[in-house]
Structure formats: C-alpha cells, structure tokens
C-alpha cells in the first residue's frame, strides 16, 4: 500500500530521534530545509483555517511557527543527502492534494503533527554548533511550544485525522488498490456535498449500499483471518459480525422516503461515482458469491486483507458524515413520504387515513439516525477486528488510525451499544443484499 502523510512524518521523527545518523553540516542543512518545507505546509493549513474563527489563538500560533521557520536554512542542502527534505516534500505534496477537502478540525490535527516534526528537525540541526543561532532557535521553540500548549488544552479528535492517514495514490495497474482508494473518495464526496447544500436521497442510498458491500467483504476477510488463527469466537464476543446487518437496517429505514431523485438518479455525482467504484470494484475483484472458504483459497488473501483494512477505516467516517447529512434533511424539508408509512407523530389523523403525502421531519428520521449510530459503532468494531489480524495476514496500512479505533472500541458505551445491537440482530439475521428492480411508472 502507498504511504500516508503520517507515515512520512513518523519516518522523519525516526531519522531525527534519540539515535539519529551522524550529524554533519550537510545533514544539518537537510534538516533545516525540511523544517522550512514543513513551514509552508503550516502556512497553507493556517490560511485555509485551523479553526472556524480565523482570529482564534490556534490560527495565530500556527502562522507564527510557519513564519519562524521560513528561510531558516542558510545553505541549500546537497542533492546527494536530502533524505529529510524529500520526506517533508512528500508530506507537502500529499497535503496540497487534499487541502481543499477537509475541515478546520482535521487541518488543526495535521498542523499539530507537522509542528512536532518541525521541532524535531530544528532540534536535530542545532546539535551542530555552526548552525546554532540562539535568537532564531528561541523564537522557533516558543512558537512550537505555543502550538503544543494549545494542542494539550484542546487535543485533536483522533477519529477525525483522515487527512494524515489518507493514502497516496496507488499504481494504476493495481485494481484492488484503486478500489480501496474509493472509500476515502466516498467519505470526501459525502462531506463536500453536505457542506454545499446537502446530499440527495439517491446519493445517500448509494453510499449506504457501497458501505454495506465493503462491510460484507470485510466480515468475510475477518472470518477468514479468524479461521487462519484456528480461533472460534462466539457471536456475543464479536459484534462486528453484525456490521453488515446494521447497514441494511439503515437502508430499510429510508425506504419510505423520497425526494424525487430515486427515479432520475444518475452516476454523474461524485458520491455516486465513488460508491459505484467501491461496490463494483469489490465484487469484480473478490467475486459476487465470495465466501470465507473461497477467500481462504486465494493466493492474494494477504493483499485483500490489507486493502479491506484501509477501506474499513473509512466506514465509521462515512457513517458519521451520513448521520450529519440525514439530520440536515430535517431543516431542508426535501424528503416526503406517505403518512400511512410513517409512525404516528402528532399529525392529523386525516393524513394517515387518506394516505396523504407529508413532509418528513426530525421525528420521522430518528429511526434512521439511530441505525446510523449503530452502523458507526459496529464499523469501529469491524475495523478493530481486521486490525487484530494485521501482521499475520497482510499489513496495517494505517496503524495510527487503527489504534484510535481500538481505543474507542474498548469504551464501555461502545460495548453496551454493541451488545444491544447483537441481541436485536440475532432475531433478524442478515439477509443477502438485493438491489431493487426498477418499476415502470403507471
């Protein structure tokens, strides 16, 4: 799998850590140039906004550190030794590719990680007496300390650090890698649509169907890994086995609604395109009738497991974004439904008896919001289960995000919700997914 910005920053920390390579003038210039490059990343993040209020101390602190490290290197590094500069440049490239698609909270978490890397580079270079300037280093230290103090007082949410963990584009010849890239593309498309007027019902259903497909194959891979380890875990201790069921419940809760896009829907939207790529890519690569036994017999099971881990990390994000989008429908009034298909919520009895079309409100959307929260919880459990088998079957392409999910998975609230879900799912087991057949208008 391709490398993420977080992997690059971690590599930079390792090369400037407690046991770095022998320091000479060339390597010190390399470290300072890397800090200068990362300073440009901070400048972009601060300009785009690390807080909804542009006058917030976050913005001033990030801008201050970016200015402090600008042109810090007195000499250009030697082309023969630019390892740190190359790493910083790759981080800048990945950030530039994604800078328009993320919100202030994610830019803030990225700025904190980049500030830590800048501090590491500068501390590495100052070990060389010829590169030590007390005034400059004191200014940089104070600016970095200001960012660190704000991060300690208001730490970034680890579950919203998708900018750091977004993978670099994979080779075009690897179809499975391209399919895996469709998951973050879908999360980005849903977020963008929500920020620019909201998503349509058809796009929402497409996202749910693609998420179900990804979850279904993720469960098959998790079961294959479980059998690979010769373990037999009861369903009560494995709530992730009901993750696909939760996505089906989300779809069923929306069946009564309409906004006029279900018939006229096309694949021209970014959401639909990403959902189709994810859905059909997995079915084409793994097989429509794939089972645990067929997957275990494949020679590329390790690569499949690695790809599904990357996809699974984005399913909780997609569920969270869909939850926000569904809640937004209450304010737009774009959904309608037959009153007789909705639970009674205070409307006139005449609307129910005469099957009148009514506008959907928040009370009607509560079942959907509840099932989406369930899907979010079980998606975290599925990601944790796939992470558990990393190293034995494939690798974990996003270890930091996986660890944050593991922490959420172990929370008492998550366990309680998962227990309730598994109890309900046992009574209504997951059925095969069927795409509705289009009907002619009468």
Same domain, 112 and 252: no
Same domain, 202 and 330: yes
Question: Which residues, other chains included, contact 26 with Cβ-Cβ below 8 Å and sequence gap of 6+?
Answer: 77, 78, 80, 81
Same domain, 299 and 355: yes
Same domain, 133 and 199: no
Q: Is residue 438 part of a domain?
A: no
Q: How far apart are CA 267 and CA 251, in angstroms?
A: 19
Same domain, 276 and 420: yes
* Nearest to 373, CA basis, from 329, 337, 326: 326
Number of domains in the chain: 2
- Does 247 have pLDDT greater than 80? yes
- DSSP, res 337: E
Same domain, 139 and 187: no
Please calculate the CA angle 190-196-197 and round it to the nearest 5 degrees: 95
Please give the pLDDT value at position 433.
Answer: 44
Same domain, 130 and 197: no
pLDDT tens readout for residues 10-46: 888 888 876 655 666 777 788 888 888 898 888 888 8
At which of 135, 163, 191 does a domain end? Answer: 163
Q: Mean pLDDT score of the chain, rounded to an integer?
A: 78
Same domain, 154 and 196: no
Parent domain of 206: 173-427
At which of 131, 163, 195 does a domain end? Answer: 163
Q: Is residue 441 part of a domain?
A: no
* Nearest to 51, CA basis, from 110, 116, 96, 108: 108
Same domain, 352 and 218: yes
Q: How far apart are CA 27 and CA 328, in angstroms?
A: 52
Same domain, 158 and 185: no
Q: Is residue 184 part of a domain?
A: yes
Same domain, 335 and 388: yes
Same domain, 270 and 385: yes
Q: Is residue 48 part of a domain?
A: yes
At which of 163, 187, 212 does a domain end? Answer: 163
Please give the pLDDT value at position 244.
Answer: 93
- Does 225 have pLDDT greater than 90? no
Q: Are 365 and 330 in contact (CB under 8 A)?
A: yes
Please give the pLDDT value at position 429.
Answer: 47
């Amino acid at each position: 799998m391709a490398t993420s910005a977080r992997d690059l920053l971690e590599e930079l920390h390792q090369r400037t850590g407690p046991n770095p390579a022998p320091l000479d003038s060339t390597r010190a210039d390399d470290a300072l140039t890397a800090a200068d490059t990362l300073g440009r990343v901070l400048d972009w993040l601060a300009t785009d906004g690390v807080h909804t209020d542009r006058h917030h101390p976050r913005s001033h602190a990030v801008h201050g550190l970016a200015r402090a490290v600008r042109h810090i290197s007195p000499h250009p590094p030697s082309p023969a030794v630019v390892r740190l500069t190359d790493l910083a440049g790759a981080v800048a490239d990945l950030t530039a590719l994604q800078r328009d698609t993320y919100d202030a909270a994610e830019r803030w978490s990225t700025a904190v990680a980049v500030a830590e890397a800048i501090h590491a580079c500068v501390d590495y270079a100052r070990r060389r007496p010829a590169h030590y300037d007390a005034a400059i280093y004191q200014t940089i230290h104070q600016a970095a300390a200001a960012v660190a103090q704000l991060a300690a007082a208001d730490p970034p949410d680890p579950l919203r650090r998708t900018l750091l963990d977004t993978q670099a584009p994979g080779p075009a010849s690897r179809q499975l890698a391209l399919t895996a890239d469709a998951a973050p593309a879908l999360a980005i498309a849903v977020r963008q649509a929500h920020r620019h007027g909201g998503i349509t019902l058809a796009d929402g259903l497409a996202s749910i169907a693609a998420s179900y497909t990804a979850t279904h194959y993720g469960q098959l891979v998790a079961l294959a890994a479980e059998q690979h380890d010769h373990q037999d875990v009861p369903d009560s201790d494995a709530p992730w086995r009901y993750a696909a069921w939760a996505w089906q419940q989300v779809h069923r809760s929306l069946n009564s609604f309409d906004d006029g896009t279900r018939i006229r829907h096309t694949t021209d939207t970014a959401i639909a395109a990403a959902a189709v790529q994810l859905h059909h890519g997995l079915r084409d690569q793994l097989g429509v009738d794939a089972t645990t036994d067929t997957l275990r017999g494949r020679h590329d099971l390790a690569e499949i497991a690695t790809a599904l881990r990357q996809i699974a990390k984005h399913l909780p994000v997609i569920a969270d974004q869909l939850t926000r989008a569904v809640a937004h429908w209450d304010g737009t009034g774009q959904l309608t439904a037959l009153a007789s298909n909705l639970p009674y919520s205070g409307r006139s009895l005449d609307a129910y008896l005469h099957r009148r079309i009514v506008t959907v409100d928040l009370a009607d959307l509560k079942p959907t919001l509840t099932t989406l929260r369930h899907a979010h919880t079980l998606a975290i459990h599925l990601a944790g289960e796939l992470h558990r088998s990393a190293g034995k079957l494939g690798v974990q392409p996003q270890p930091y995000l996986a660890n944050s999910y593991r922490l959420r998975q172990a929370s008492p609230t998550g366990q309680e919700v998962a227990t309730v879900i598994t109890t309900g799912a046992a009574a209504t087991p997951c059925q095969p997914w069927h795409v509705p057949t289009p009907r002619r208008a009468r």
